[in-house]
Amino acid sequence: MNPELEIIGYLGPEGTYSEHAALKFAEKYKITKFKDFPTIPHVLQAVEHGEITLGIVPVENSIEGTVNITLDMLAHELSLRILGEIVIDIKHCLISKAKDLSKIHTIYSHPQALAQCRLFLQNHLTQACYLNCNSTAEAALLVKEGQEGLAAICSVWAAEKYQVDIICENISDYSSNQTRFLVVGKNDFCSNKNRQKTSLCVALAKNRPGGLYDILAEFIPDQIDLSKIESRPAKKELGEYIFFIDCLADLEIEYKHVLNRLKQKCKLVKILGTYNRIEVYNQQDGER
Amino acid sequence: MNPELEIIGYLGPEGTYSEHAALKFAEKYKITKFKDFPTIPHVLQAVEHGEITLGIVPVENSIEGTVNITLDMLAHELSLRILGEIVIDIKHCLISKAKDLSKIHTIYSHPQALAQCRLFLQNHLTQACYLNCNSTAEAALLVKEGQEGLAAICSVWAAEKYQVDIICENISDYSSNQTRFLVVGKNDFCSNKNRQKTSLCVALAKNRPGGLYDILAEFIPDQIDLSKIESRPAKKELGEYIFFIDCLADLEIEYKHVLNRLKQKCKLVKILGTYNRIEVYNQQDGER
């Protein structure tokens, strides 16, 4: 990899958790060029069209689950590969120009952030209405530019970036809140061939009792651990699914025989990427 | 069941696909009282607190997949039971006071509807920005009350209800688009004991290779078909999941031995309901 040629795209504007993940990743690989995009599809399409070389997109949150658009586009629309993953600790806070909670009438945030703080909002801000934004940082920006009755759920980092006061810290309903991001690109960015993890999607030839069981059976002889399995609609009719599987083994090299057996049983097997396991970063670390 | 005592709650306002599902269900069971709520949690909590006797909530769409809030609340927060399911054909249209697409600058809809029409919007309305609403009917109402440059994605039914012109019909990116709704309540509303389907959630005692495989193995001897399996975060840490399973058998009566075996293997087994299989309604039918 030549760091000078790499450009990382992320879900903007400045101050998103995605930007935080992009900075952490760039630091490690000495990449210095960034570009922000308004939505996840914009990031992914920019990589697909060669406008940027790498994209960082959220794929899964420990409370709200999968970011569907990311998985669906990788499976159905794009020819990108997953090259790595990063996990960021999520710590939401409530920011506003208002001096106390009773003055707040409207709360902006990304729908996942609103969902992650639902019980807090129900208990402390029953009078307010909620409005969805494309990102937590966009919400912070709206509060910075708006009137006193507005509030946003965002990171401490975004609060500092947009210079709006934090009214409540750590407002997530669950103590542990992490988001996993995927790094995607067209070509591998480092030459390390010792991958620990494979993401793939598979579809059965037809729905029948025991179909999924037969697929999982292929991972048993080699004792391969599945770190995630998730069904998503095949987008044809209700009840037809494809399965997204993350497993802790390299199915393209070391365990290629498993992949070959899967191909015999399934009508679709698409490798989304083989890559190294998780790197976890705390939001409070580093270049806040 | 005494139809006169039943009140059905649904995601409002008038004109939502949820209202359509509620009307279809009510027609069959001769229920005449309805109440609309602003969000899915409001519907579910109203049933939990006895304000209404039945709630109808979306749980799954053939393109966009699971409605997370519905499954999560049934699994983690409420003591309600699934009593039935209804499937509605979804046919989105674009409505606006504008005479042609080039005049439209803002499109309102529910995030799932916007996602289901993403390719249409990319191809025909690149100039417009998208704003999320709580429902497709709320979006229609905003367009009715707003300026000419606004548009909404909603049902034909909502377009007629709010008397806004349809500019494009059938704008969903995939030809088949259906949503499955659950009917939930505290008590069974009919005395038929011949259930065809069970929904349950299970959690493994600990993550280990083959854990899910061992759970699925329990359904094999009786050849029980799993119509859906889906992982959702256990909401503790990333990588810990609970599995939602729909199977085509009554695990509470006829196949109680399967349930008992599952209980021996898992740290959590929660039956969400046993009920009769799907009833499908076309949106164009009936009392439009």
Average the pLDDT over B99-111 and give the result.
92
Please state, in angstroms and rounded to a whole number, the distance separating the CA atoms of residues A9 and A14: 12
Residues A8 and A84 in one domain: yes
**Partner-chain contact A238 B87, CB within 8 Å:** yes
Q: How much is the average pLDDT of B26-52? A: 94
* Nearest CA distance, A219 vs chain B (angstrom): 8
User: Which of A64, A174, A231 has its CB closest to that of B68?
Assistant: A64
Whether residue B193 has pLDDT greater than 80: no
N residues, chain A: 288
Amino acid (1-letter code) at residue A221? P
pLDDT higher at A251 or A191: A251
* Angstroms from B62 CA to nearest CA on chain A: 5
Q: What is the mean pLDDT of chain B?
A: 90
Per DSSP bridges, beta strands B166-168 and B178-185 are: unpaired
Rg of chain A (C-alpha set):
20
What integer pLDDT is reported at residue A266 of this predicted model? 93
What proportion of chain A, given as a percentage, has pLDDT over 70?
A: 95
* Structural domains counted in chain A: 3
Helix or strand holding residue A266 (H, E): strand A266-275
Q: What is the pLDDT of residue B74?
A: 95
**What would the pLDDT profile of B233-280 be if each residue is shown by its tens digit?**
888 777 788 999 999 999 999 999 999 999 999 999 999 999 988 777
For residue A29, what pLDDT is reported? 86
| Together in a domain, A14 and A27 | yes
pLDDT at residue A192, rounded to an integer? 62
pLDDT digits (tens, 9 = 90+) for B182-192: 999 998 766 66
Nearest to B115 among A69, A209, A228 (CB): A69
User: Which pair of tokens denotes residue A66?
Assistant: 């999968």
Kindly indicate the confidence band of residue A280, based on its pLDDT and cuts at 50, 70 and 90. confident
Residue A193 has pLDDT above 80, yes or no: no
Q: Note whether B206 contacts A: Cβ–Cβ < 8 A.
A: no
Phi and psi at A54, nearest 5°, equal: -135, 145
Q: At what angle do helices B68-76 and B40-48 cross, to 10 degrees?
A: 30
Residue pair A61/A176 in contact by the 8 Å Cβ criterion:
no
**Is the dihedral angle over the CA atoms B60, B66, B68, B73 positive or is it negative?**
positive
Q: How much is the average pLDDT of B187-199? A: 77
B42 domain-assigned: yes
**B140 pLDDT tier (thresholds 50, 70, 90):** very high
Sign, Cα dihedral of A78, A79, A80, A81: positive
Highest mean pLDDT among A58-72, A161-175, B124-138: A161-175
Domain region containing B43: 3-90+177-190+277-281
Name residue, tokens 């080699």.
A222
Q: What are phi and psi of B22, to 5 degrees?
A: -60, -40
B-facing residues of A in 216-255 (CB < 8 A) are 216-217, 219-220, 223-233, 235-241
pTM metric for this prediction: 0.85
- A269 shares its domain with A126: no
pLDDT band at B210 (very low <50, low <70, confident <90, very high): confident
CB contact under 8 A, A210 and B231: no
Q: pLDDT, tens digit, for every residue of A97-126?
A: 998 899 999 999 988 899 889 889 989 998
- CA dist A75 and A244 (Å) reads 9
Q: Give tens-digit pLDDT for A120-147.
A: 998 999 888 888 888 899 999 999 999 9
Query: pLDDT tier at B70 (50, 70, 90 boundaries)?
Result: very high
Residue type, B161: K
The pLDDT of residue B284 is 53
Task: Enumerate residues 120 to 159 of chain B having a beta carbon within 8 A of any beta carbon in chain A.
Answer: 131-132
Residues across chain B: 288
3 state DSSP class of A65: strand
A83 and A96 assigned to the same domain: no
A44 touches A70 (CB < 8 A): yes
The answer to whether residue B288 sits within a structural domain is no
Q: ipTM of the predicted structure? A: 0.78
Domain match, B36 and B145 both: no
- Is B216 close to A216, i.e. CB distance below 8 A? yes
Q: What is the predicted pLDDT for the residue at A287?
A: 34
CA atoms within 13 A of residue B211's CA, in its CB half-sphere? 20
Q: How confident is the model at residue B55 (pLDDT cuts 50, 70, 90)?
A: very high
Percent of chain B at pLDDT exceeding 70 = 95
Q: Which two tokens stand for residue A119?
A: 């019980």
**Which has the closest alpha carbon to B245: B22, B54, B66, B63?**
B66
B266 and B159 in one domain? no
pLDDT at A206: 75
What pLDDT is stored for residue A97 in this prediction? 96
- Residue A77 contacts by C-beta under 8 Å, 6 or more apart in sequence? none
- For residue B53, being part of any structural domain is answered with yes
Report yes or no: B243 and B75 within 8 Å, Cβ to Cβ: no
SS3 B9: strand
The secondary structure element, H or E, covering residue A199 is: strand A197-204
In a domain, A288, yes or no: no
Q: Tell whether the model's pLDDT for residue B229 goes beyond 80.
A: yes
Q: Out of A89-93, A255-259, A279-283, B168-172, which region has the weakest mean confidence (pLDDT)?
A: A279-283
Q: Which of A184, A179, A5 is nearest to A77 (CA)?
A: A184
Task: Tell whether B132 and B70 lie within a shared domain.
Answer: no
pLDDT score for A288: 30
The answer for residues whose C-beta is within 8 angstroms of residue A225's C-beta and 6 or more apart is: A247, A248, A249, B207, B208, B209
Cα–Cα distance, A226 to B124 (Å, whole number)? 41
Same domain, B52 and B98: no
The residues with which A202 forms a beta bridge, in sequence order, are A243, A269
Identify the pLDDT of residue A140.
96
3-state SS, residue A92: strand
E strands, chain B, where? 7-11, 33-37, 54-61, 65-66, 81-89, 92-96, 106-109, 129-132, 150-155, 166-168, 178-185, 197-204, 226-233, 241-247, 266-275, 280-281
CA distance A3 to chain B (A): 30
| Residues B10 and B71 reside in one and the same domain | yes
pLDDT score recorded for residue B79: 92
Same domain, B140 and B245: no
Query: Environment class of residue B38 by beta-carbon count within 10 Å: exposed (0-12), middle (13-18) or buried (19+)?
Result: middle
Task: Please say which residue of A189, A221, A252 terminates a domain.
Answer: A189
B287, pLDDT greater than 50? no
Which single residue is written with the structure tokens 């905003």?
B142
**CA-nearest residue of chain A to B61?**
A238
In the predicted structure, residue B43 carries a pLDDT above the cut 70 = yes
- Separation between Cα atoms, residue B124 and residue B265, nearest integer Å: 53
Of A204, A281, A202, nearest to A246 by C-alpha is: A202
pLDDT (mean) for B118-142: 89
Give the domain CATH number at A211: 3.30.70.260
Average pLDDT over residues B222-235: 88
Same structural domain, A66 and A101: no
**Which pLDDT band, with edges at 50, 70 and 90, does A190 fall under?**
low
Q: With CB atoms and an 8 Å threshold, state whether A69 touches B225.
A: no
For B148, the token pair is 């000419």
